[in-house]
Amino acid sequence: MTTHDGLRTEAELRALTGIKWSRYPDDVLPAWVADMDLVPPDCARAAVAGLAEAGDFGYTRHATEQLPGLFRDWQSRYHSWAPDLDEITIFNDVLHAIAMSIHLHTDPGDGIALLTPIYPPFLKALDGARRRFVDVPLDPDGWRLDPDRLAASLDDGTRAVLLCSPHNPTGRVFDAAEREAIGRVVVERDLLLISDEVWGDLTHPGNRHGPMALVGDDVAARTITISSASKAFNLAGLRCAVAHVGSPTLRARLEALPPHSIGAVGSPGAEAAVACWTEGHDWLAATRSFLTDRRDQLAKRVAEDLPGVGFQVPEATYLAWLDFSALELGDEPQEWLYDNARVALSPGTDFGPSGRGFVRMNTATSPDLLDHLIDRIVDALAAR
């Protein structure tokens, strides 16, 4: 099995303050929240350390002003898309951009369509804003989008589609036909498309992320595309996101907000993103290879040691969407697994109604820790 230069030991991980390893007792192996068990790239650590060493904590836009151009360069290099610099806005993080888009474009009671199962904070964002959840279930046989189901699910009160592409938790990379189907509905019904593309840099071999803004000019004019260096480079706590606001209506509403309403990104987050988008290419290539190996490691173990557990191998992300429903562990199998295997996974029910019987597992850890976690599940099931 391959390793990674930045792998942390279990002792080092348990010494961190991040919630992944600090939330549960020391006898529990955590594989829930989407943080990698890797040291972030040296370039990001050096950028943040340089600020601290120099005491450079004053007002500055040194890094923030570089982000739009670097975002454009990154998108062009990896995703063949060159967004207009004048349409790029900096946000504190991806969820901040999503919340602002929902608030400015829709009203309480309006419907927002989600392709389920879906990242739990999307559902919470709707609840918190008093927007209505419009459920568009993906086909569980391959987690593909059914265009007819999408069109039929939207009612007259639907005002937006909130998309996670590549998809969390299933790891699907939506193909051209699926993206075009989403774009067609968005244009025909004049909806806002809020496209979270933060996982776009973590595809597996044979798959390529396609930005929704490339579906067509009429789609781009109704879309806000949101991304960040956070997932690809393990920087989530530094809070820095970049968005291309292709919708003129949303852009005008953002620009009309009172000064400081959007806030500002802190220097550490901006400097780390700049460093990664200029110097992080080799680190990302090594990490993508490492994550593909962990995906394949899990797939092999499930096939050999976990009969009855459903697993459709993801095309992107370091997440695994595992179906335990055939094993009769209840609607929330993560509870049984926590109690009996002492592993902490994300409960499938948090991802919407179609998540009953599922768990989400984070595989971005060392080969040994991943095997250890799987062994615990295998042993607990065998002891039933």
Tally the residues of the chain.
384
Domain stop point among 224, 259, 279: 279
> What dihedral do alpha carbons 331, 114, 23, 344 form, nearest 10°?
40
Query: Do 334 and 362 reside in the same domain of the chain?
Result: yes
Q: How many domains does the chain have?
A: 2
Query: Do 361 and 272 reside in the same domain of the chain?
Result: no
Is 104 among the domain residues?
Answer: yes
Strand, coil or helix: 209: coil
Query: Helix 248-255 crosses helix 94-105 at what angle (to 10 degrees)?
Result: 100
User: Model confidence over 1-41: pLDDT tens digits?
Assistant: 567 889 999 999 999 999 999 999 999 999 999 999 999 99
**pTM attached to this predicted model:** 0.97
Nearest CA-CA partner of 147 in 197, 181, 116: 181
User: Model confidence over 181-197: pLDDT tens digits?
Assistant: 999 999 999 999 999 99
Q: What confidence score (pLDDT) does residue 3 get? A: 74
What is the pLDDT of the chain when averaged over all its residues? 97
CATH number at residue 189: 3.40.640.10
Instruction: Please give the residue range of the domain that contains residue 298.
Output: 10-41+281-382
Find the distance separating the first CA and the last CA of the chain, reported in whole Å: 31
Question: Torsion-angle region of residue 29: left (phi > 0), alpha (psi -120 to 50) or beta?
Answer: beta
Query: Do 274 and 183 reside in the same domain of the chain?
Result: yes
> Going by C-beta distance under 8 Å and a sequence separation of 6 or more, which residues neighbour residue 82?
72, 75, 76
Q: What is the mean pLDDT of residues 245-274?
A: 95
CB atoms within 10 A of CB 15: 11
Is 1 among the domain residues?
Answer: no
Distance CA 307, CA 114 (A): 31
Is 5 among the domain residues?
Answer: no
Contact predicate 136/162, CB 8 Å? no
Query: Do 359 and 371 reside in the same domain of the chain?
Result: yes
Domain stop point among 221, 251, 279: 279
Amino acid in the structure at residue 358 = F
> Going by C-beta distance under 8 Å and a sequence separation of 6 or more, which residues neighbour residue 206?
315
- Model confidence at 259, pLDDT cuts 50, 70, 90, reads confident
Q: What is the mean pLDDT of residues 261-289?
A: 96
